[in-house]
């Protein structure tokens, strides 16, 4: 017998049950080693009978698992499979692009996405500023880690041993008069980046160009890419670094969440 559909083309009862079941899955996903029925009902706000009915249905379909010894519920194997499918199919560039465009519209400056490739950062996507005078770096362009905003953001979260090995391999070649070549000064730049959540490039890679960069993370809190905003010195004076830094950090955090990732700051 076909399911009766209401005048809006949907079965409200089934939709509400689906929403409730998804809420229970989210509770289970955040529950660590398993949750009791009482705890799940309390967190969801559903009556214990409703909670048990929905959990039993999820268990039948292998989206939830019940441990008879501990009397606790946790996510099932099918939830894990679906989560893996998302990780497999997600596309960082497509995920980031609308957020990059919004950041460019808000600031008027060029926005870049880059990944680390060995001892360099490689630009993989860019949303260009509409200004006549603007920063441009075509996808595929490689930039040194020590003198680019994105590179410094990437180095800042690495261990002292990892970044020392990279910098020893490449050297800290002077590219402009403002390129940092002193390791003690660079260490302070890394500390500032960790404290603020963003790194800056103050004409260190190109004369007259400034950059602010933050990181995008995967589900393990590991950085997968850097997001930067670049523009001419004339439009990015010293007193704009903090404002732009906050915007870049916020955008990187939103991309991280949309990508299914977790940033270290969200774990604190």
Same domain, 228 and 105: yes
**Count of the separate structural domains present in the chain:** 2
Which DSSP helix (H) or strand (E) runs through 33? Answer: none
Q: Among the three residues 32, 58, 87, which one is the final residue of a domain in this structure?
A: 87
pTM for the predicted model, two decimal places: 0.68
Q: How many CB atoms lie within 10 A of CB 181?
A: 14
- Give the pLDDT confidence score for residue 104 in this predicted structure: 97
Of 256, 206, 213, 253, nearest to 233 by C-alpha is 206
Q: What is the mean pLDDT of residues 10-34?
A: 80
For residues 71 and 266, the model is more confident at 71
Report pLDDT digits (tens) over 137-147.
Answer: 777 788 899 99
Report pLDDT digits (tens) over 79-110.
Answer: 766 766 655 556 888 899 999 999 999 999 99
Same domain, 62 and 119: no
- Please compute Rg for the chain using Cα positions: 24
Alpha helices in 30-131 (DSSP H): 37-44, 48-60, 77-89, 92-107
Same domain, 32 and 120: no
Domain carrying residue 239: 90-267
Same domain, 209 and 252: yes
User: Nearest 5°: phi and psi at 232?
Assistant: -75, 155
| CATH, residue 108 | 3.30.450.40
Q: Confirm if 213 and 199 have CB atoms less than 8 A apart.
A: yes
Same domain, 232 and 103: yes
- Give the pLDDT confidence score for residue 50 in this predicted structure: 93
Q: 202 lies in a domain?
A: yes
Q: Among the three residues 60, 87, 114, which one is the final residue of a domain in this structure?
A: 87
Q: 143 lies in a domain?
A: yes
Same domain, 76 and 142: no
Q: 6 lies in a domain?
A: no
Kindly state the tokens that stand for 28: 């289970």
User: Do you know the residue count of the chain?
Assistant: 268
Same domain, 124 and 29: no
């Amino acid at each position: 017998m076909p399911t009766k559909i209401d005048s809006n083309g949907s079965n409200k009862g089934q939709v509400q049950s689906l929403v409730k079941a998804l809420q229970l899955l989210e509770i289970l996903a955040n529950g660590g080693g398993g949750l009791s029925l009482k705890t799940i009902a309390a967190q969801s706000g559903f009556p214990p009978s409703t909670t048990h009915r929905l959990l039993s249905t999820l268990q039948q379909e292998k989206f939830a698992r019940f441990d008879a010894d501990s009397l606790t519920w946790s996510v099932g194997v099918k939830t894990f499979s679906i989560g893996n499918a998302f990780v497999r199919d997600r596309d960082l560039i497509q995920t980031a692009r609308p957020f990059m465009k919004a950041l460019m519209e808000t600031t008027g400056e060029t926005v870049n996405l880059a990944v680390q490739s060995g001892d360099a950062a490689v630009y993989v996507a860019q949303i260009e500023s509409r200004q006549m005078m603007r920063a441009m770096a075509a996808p595929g362009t490689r930039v040194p880690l020590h003198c680019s905003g994105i590179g410094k953001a990437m180095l800042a979260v690495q261990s002292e041993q990892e970044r020392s090995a990279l910098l020893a391999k490449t050297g800290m070649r002077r590219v402009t008069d403002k390129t940092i070549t002193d390791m003690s000064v660079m260490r302070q730049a890394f500390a500032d980046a960790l404290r603020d959540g963003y790194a800056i490039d103050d004409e260190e890679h190109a004369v007259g160009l400034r950059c602010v960069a933050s990181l995008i993370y995967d589900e393990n809190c590991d950085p997968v890419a850097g997001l930067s905003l670049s523009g001419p010195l004339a439009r990015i004076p010293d007193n704009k670094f903090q404002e732009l830094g906050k915007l870049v950090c916020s955008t990187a955090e939103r991309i991280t969440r949309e990508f299914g990732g977790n940033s270290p700051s969200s774990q604190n």
